[in-house]
Structure formats: structure tokens, C-alpha cells
Amino acid sequence: ILTALLAFLKYFYDRYFQTLFRVFFNTTLRQGQLTDQLMQAKLASLFFNVLFCLSAGVFVFLMLHFNKNLVAYNPAFLLFVCILSVASVYAIKYLTLKFTGWLTGLQPIVDTYIFIIFLVNKILGILLKPLLILMAFADDPVRRIALYAALFTFGLLLLSRLVRAFGLLQRKIRVSRLHFLLYIAGIEVVPMLVLG
């Protein structure tokens, strides 16, 4: 299903797909124009966010599946709970950030930060796809390597997101490193621990 969804999105939203990677890897002045193109394509953005939630949910499910104590649970129900948990965490994060932006009057900065979060998530949803196939269908040594590769990819993209976010906040509102670290601990790390 994930492969079919990715193929569908690549076929019908090819321009968005290409622009997504160009914005992620591009740091030149044209990035503002490309970012505007991505922000205007609401339906494509929604579909790629759904792809991320499905991919991340399947990833969490496969990580839990390595734990032999969870074999007794209904796999379809556990998969559904994993996908719903990922979607819920990011929906709550989105609503909290929107409310914070409205409350503080920093809506443009918050919107840019939300864009960074979901840009990295969309890239992660795409990059996890081949690793998920290996984690689901390969033999145990290859499966374990795919798991570590997926965790490394997740960590690398999370670090990229934090660097971009800190650069944005440092330029726009002059946030200190301590406040940024407190934000990371409260908003980024705690939801991941809740999922774990």
C-alpha cells in the first residue's frame, strides 16, 4: 500500500515531488520562490503528510515487532494504533504551534517553522520507504541493519530540522540556546518518548 501510494503521488504530483527535494537541498535565494510553490499546493502537501504518517507508523510498528512480547497483540490493531499515534502527535504539535503563533503575534515565524517540520517529515516519509521494505521482508541480519539505517536517517533529518529551526529563530526573534534546548526537550523529545 505504501509503495502504491508513493507511486501515485510521484505520478500525479511529480512537480511537487521534485520541488520538495529541491527546497530541502537548496539553500540559495530561489528557495523562497520554491517554498511559496510548495505552500500553495495544499492537497499535495496533505497527501505527502499522510504518506509520512503511514510510513512513520509502519516504522514504529516494525520496531515494536522486534519486541517478541508484543506478538500476542493483534498486528492489524497494533499497526492502526501506531499510525494513529504518529498522526495524533503531529496534529497536536501543529495545533499547539498555530495557537502559540496566534497568541504571541509571531504567526509568520511559526508558519515558517511548521513548514520546516513538515518539509523534513515529507522527506523522511519518502526515504523510509525502501528501509521499511527491508525491515518487513528481509532476513534478520538485513532487517537489523535496515532498522539502524532508518534510525540513523531519522536522527540525521531531525538534526537537520533543528539546525534549520534554530537558524530561523536566531535570525527572527533572537532566541537563546538555553531556551531553544528547553523547547527541544519539551516539544520534540517528549512526544517521541511517548510514542516509544
| 106-136 pLDDT per residue, tens | 788 888 888 888 889 999 999 999 999 998 8
Burial 72-99 (b: 16+ CB within 10 A, else e): eeeeeebbebbbebbbebbeebeeebee
Q: For the segment 179-195, what is each residue's pLDDT rounded down to a tens digit?
A: 666 666 666 666 656 65
Q: Does the pLDDT at position 30 exceed 50? A: no
Write the burial class of residue 184 (CB in 10 Å: 0-12 exposed, 13-18 middle, 19+ buried). Answer: middle
Residue 171 confidence (pLDDT): 65
Please give the model's pTM, rounded to 2 decimal places: 0.80
Name the band, by pLDDT with cuts 50, 70 and 90, for residue 48.
very high
Q: Does the pLDDT at position 28 exceed 70? A: no
Residue 2 confidence (pLDDT): 87
Q: Which of 117, 58, 111 is nearest to 90 (CA)?
A: 117
Q: Which three cell numbers stand for residue 121?
A: 517529515
Q: For the segment 63-97, what is each residue's pLDDT rounded down to a tens digit?
A: 887 766 665 578 888 889 999 999 998 999 899 88
Q: How far is it, in rounded angstroms, from Cα 87 to Cα 65?
A: 19
Q: Which of 76, 77, 79, 46 is nearest to 61 (CA)?
A: 79
